[in-house]
Structure 1
Amino acid sequence: MNTTQKGFTLIELMIVIAIIGILAAIAIPAYQNYIAKSQTSEAFTLADGLKTAIATNRQSNSCFKNGKDATGGTDTVAGKYGTAKIVADAKAESGCGILYTYDNATASSLIPKDAIIGMEVSETGQLSPSTVNVTTPAVLDEFTPGSFK
């Protein structure tokens, strides 16, 4: 009786497992960076909405709807990963700025705890980095859009 065995040898299976391990070691950090970048982009999406509110409020010579400070409503917008609010920014051309504060419970582990992005709003609605009321962590530079740096 001549029987042949069918299947893979142990060395073939070990090679496949090693290849999968190498691919996972490359893919997981890249995916984590992708997640952090997408979460950081939410700050700029929310800021775009607040730029419209600032333009409307500035017709009353104030950054804020009530003329004094951010009071929620159109002056504050909550997102999935954090909250953006209008602030007074004396360094900004328009006198207005936006602070985006990450929610520690939902933000990526690559984003520092209590991270805040400060943004100046120019007269034309252009966003640029601001240091008023906040110092944006340097680690966030990796995740922010190139046009913002």
Structure 2
Amino acid sequence: MNTAKRLADAEKPIAQHSAQFTDLIEKVSKIEQNDKKQISHLKEQNDQHMEQIDALKRENEKQIGKMLGLKEGYEQQITNLQEENQQLQTQVNSMIKRHEQSVTEHGIQKDELHKYQQKIKQLESEFQAQETQLKNTKTK
């Protein structure tokens, strides 16, 4: 009987430990299931975030492409405007030079005109004097 009692006494802790072990296994199983759900949920969120990141990257690349296109267009416009400005500056310089030449020629022509006007006045004066002299000679 002693053996039976010892066996019965030994079975009690084994049964307790077995029940605790079963409880722990159930807890571990529940924790693993919960962890799997969380991992699955986090993977879904991660996949969604990665899709958003990829979409943002594509949009960013499109925007960069548009900006580069605009930049090239603006640079071309600037180049065209600089060339046009250079052409206009050349035209202005040419017009200034022609104007200066015209002013010089005008001054020369004005001087010549004044000289000819003086010559005409002198000739008219001489003519008047000769005409008067001629009249005086005829009347004598």
Q: Give TM-score, length-normalised by structure 1.
A: 0.32
Larger relative contact order (Cα-Cα within 8 Å, sequence gap ≥ 6): 1
Greater fraction of residues in strand: 1
| Greater share of residues in helix | 2
